[in-house]
Structure 1
Amino acid sequence: MCDIIFGQDNCFNCDNPDDSTRKSHLSSPSVYRKAKRRALYKNGECNIVLENVSKLRRRYMQDLFTTLVDARWRWTLCVFVLSFLLSWLAFGIIWYLIAFTHGDLTPENIDNPAWSPCVINMKTFMASFLFSVETQHTTGFGYRMVTEECHEAIVFFCFQSIAGLMIQAFMVGIVFTKMARPKQRSQTIMFSKNAVICRRDGQLCLMFRVGDMREKSHLIGTTIQTRLIRSRVTPEGETLSPHVTYLKINIDDHDERVFLMWPTVAVHKIDQDSPLYGLSAADLLNERFEVIVVLEGTTESTGQTTQARTSYTASEVLWGHRFRPLVKYCKTKLMYEVDYSQFHEVFKVDTPLCSAKDLETYLMINEAKVITRFH
């Protein structure tokens, strides 16, 4: 009967689905798997390269603020320094040209006390550069100053003051935004290295562990979303690759917002609505899929929304394993202790090797036999 329901390769002890004599090689993480192909790295970065995008650089330059915020620190700081140096130099050249066109730099006027220059004590290009720096940052040493002689100098003085404020606000805003990004908060969010499949409350479940290492500042309104990425062929023969499917997640019997006081295990029940309903332990060895996990929450201390991501390929899903408990109550300290050294640890448990669909079919047949026998 077992061969008929589950097939010769997926057979387990029908009389006792928890029989420890199941094929251990199917649940071993060291079994040969196909090479990993993932859309999302374990650290949350997307493994996607854009090719043949028209006018890509122009589009990035049109959104310069976001481009600089997303750039590496060395490039952001390089642009930060160059923006001030180049603006000082450009405005210094213009100040030098204003003085030159007015005749302030001619030999007969440069040391003539009766001559009224546009800018007092600006006789060289270095002096014009220093005056540009003093004007842009309102330093005002008092040695060089604009006179009423040149209207163009007065207008340009006002223009540089406004432009300097805009440059400073823009660049300081970029650096501040880059430093205060909630992306750094995600570094203290941990996901288990592997996901596991085992039975819970008599039903096969896909599970992974997530935890927050911060003790003081917790995440508020945390939500966890999971997606399954794998190829799918429609009844019309169309191949959808990649195809994204939603996986419903429950945490402690709640499917809404969670509070990560301690590491918790997220559970996806493999039922009739699950895309993994027909997946068996043998299928897992040859299957190509990826489970994308996205955690979002609001940082308690800053009020900013942060996001942490990870993924599990088929080779990172262990069939017939369960996570080790981490939380215990210490009577001497009168508080709960969390042992993070066991965060990624799993242990083997008796688990049927067939799919949830076949298991449900088998249990229904057994139940029908029992009812028939009593009647």
Structure 2
Amino acid sequence: MKLEKSGRRIFTQNGEVKINRINVNQRNLRYVYDYVTTVLELSWGWISTFLTVTFVISWLVFAGIWFGIMKIHHDFERVDHVPCVNAVATFTECLLLSIETQQTIGYGSRSVTEQCASGVVLLIVQTCFGLILQSLWVGTFYKKFIRPTKRGHTLLWSRRVVISLRDKYLTLQVRLGEIRDQSILLDAKIRMYYISKSTSEEKKNVSLNFLGMNLDSDTSSNRTLLIWPSIIEHRIDSKSPLWCLDRKKLANNNFELLVTFEEKIESTGLLTQTRHSYTPDDIVWGARFEPMIRNDPGAPLTVDYSKFDALYCDTCTKPCSASEL
């Protein structure tokens, strides 16, 4: 089960998980499809459809109950007594009564009389049910509307990862940029994980190792304020899983790098996370990212995004591993 050579990755390049879960205990599945999470993950089209269907079904069900109560009360056969509901003689009028009751939009000529206790009880029940149903859908639409699902699309990850010499250490570098300028991402946290396959001596037990990697950015911390594009780097030291890999071994190795960026949106205070996955095929040994920032005298700071993925050769980086330097 190789991560890349066999075409199988744990994560897509955008960081989405590619795992097929089978034989899950059926008792635990009831927690998977809970109302809030399931509905929020649906598209707007499906949510609008379920909203319409939910209200129409509830109106029809209560209209049927109103019709049954009036049938039992003989409102459709007798004309010499006070009916349960005034000005209602057909199922269509019962449906209109149900809509007006549940949506609290006023009755007009249709109104419940005091002669029918069951009608008064049903009026109370449907009114409360309508308020609860509307509250649930209003909350759902609000949560769906404020979810920052599209905010991560304004973050750019470099297509390539580079390994080059910096301060006498080999470093693995990734560039991260933000193209939105109306708001700043706060309290940003950057993490990198090394995912590899390990096999026991008997070659029977195969497991995936998930190892966190130390990171530094241009601000010398795994927390950064992403005002302009930053280079996130991992120093390849004795604690690094890349410590013994030279350029040739790296190209033939089998692992996956997952980089996550978790941030808080300034305008809403909500947390969001973007992820990106790299494999050895995405790593360029002995290269550096071209500078993007220009600070010309008398001009504002300029960031040229045409150079975001641009690389140039680093002649100072040797093809040997970090342990051999």
**Taking structure 1 as reference, are residues 311 and 263 closer, same or farther at Cα in structure 2, changes over 3 Å only?**
same
TM-score by length of 1: 0.81
What's 2:185 paired with? Answer: 219
Q: Does the CA-based 8 Å contact 1:34-1:286 persist in structure 2? A: no
Distance in structure 2 (CA, Å) of the matches to 1:253 and 1:273: 22
Which amino acid is the alignment partner of residue 117 of structure 2? Answer: H
SS at match of 1:186: helix
Which amino acid is the alignment partner of residue 207 of structure 2? Answer: S
Distance in structure 2 (CA, Å) of the matches to 1:57 and 1:273: 40
Alignment counterpart, residue 263 of structure 2, candidates 297, 322, 334: 297
What's 2:224 paired with? Answer: 258
Alignment counterpart, residue 58 of structure 1, candidates 30, 51, 75: 30
Between structure 1 and structure 2, the one with the greater Rg is 1
Residues 1-375 of structure 1 mapped to structure 2, 5 A cutoff: 34-55=5-26, 58-61=30-33, 63-106=34-77, 109=78, 112=79, 114-233=80-199, 239-332=205-298, 334-350=299-315, 351-359=317-325
Deviating more after overlay: 73-82 vs 296-305: 73-82
Q: Percent identity?
A: 36
Question: Between Structure 1 and Structure 2, how many residues are aligned?
Answer: 320
Deviations 1:185-226 (A, max 9, x none): 111111111111111112111010111111120111111011
Deviations 1:123-182 (A, max 9, x none): 111111111111111011412111101111111111111111111111222222122112
Distance in structure 2 (CA, Å) of the matches to 1:235 and 1:81: 59
Distance in structure 1 (CA, Å) of the matches to 2:248 and 2:285: 10
Say which structure is richer in helix.
1
Q: Does the CA-based 8 Å contact 1:226-1:247 persist in structure 2? A: yes
**CA RMSD, Structure 1 to Structure 2 (Å):** 1.8
Distance in structure 2 (CA, Å) of the matches to 1:60 and 1:274: 37
Which amino acid is the alignment partner of residue 340 of structure 1? Answer: Y
Q: Does the CA-based 8 Å contact 1:36-1:315 persist in structure 2? A: no
Q: Does the CA-based 8 Å contact 2:101-2:107 persist in structure 1? A: no
Distance in structure 2 (CA, Å) of the matches to 1:174 and 1:49: 29
**Taking structure 1 as reference, are residues 240 and 270 closer, same or farther at Cα in structure 2, changes over 3 Å only?**
farther
Task: Note the C-alpha offset of 1:240.
Answer: 5.0
Q: Does the CA-based 8 Å contact 1:294-1:308 persist in structure 2? A: yes
Which amino acid is the alignment partner of residue 304 of structure 2? Answer: D
Q: Does the CA-based 8 Å contact 2:292-2:307 persist in structure 1? A: yes
Which amino acid is the alignment partner of residue 77 of structure 1? Answer: S
Distance in structure 2 (CA, Å) of the matches to 1:44 and 1:80: 31
Deviations 1:263-321 (A, max 9, x none): 00001000001111011110122111111111111100111111111111111111111
Task: Note the C-alpha offset of 1:60.
Answer: 3.3
Deviating more after overlay: 242-251 vs 65-74: 65-74
Q: Does the CA-based 8 Å contact 2:191-2:222 persist in structure 1? A: no
Gap regions ≥5 residues in structure 1: 1-32, 360-375
Distance in structure 2 (CA, Å) of the matches to 1:213 and 1:253: 19
Distance in structure 2 (CA, Å) of the matches to 1:266 and 1:88: 57
Which amino acid is the alignment partner of residue 74 of structure 2? Answer: G
Q: Does the CA-based 8 Å contact 1:183-1:307 persist in structure 2? A: no
Which amino acid is the alignment partner of residue 169 of structure 1? Answer: S
SS at match of 1:85: helix
Distance in structure 2 (CA, Å) of the matches to 1:35 and 1:324: 33
Task: Note the C-alpha offset of 1:330.
Answer: 3.5
Task: Note the C-alpha offset of 1:43.
Answer: 2.1
SS at match of 2:276: strand
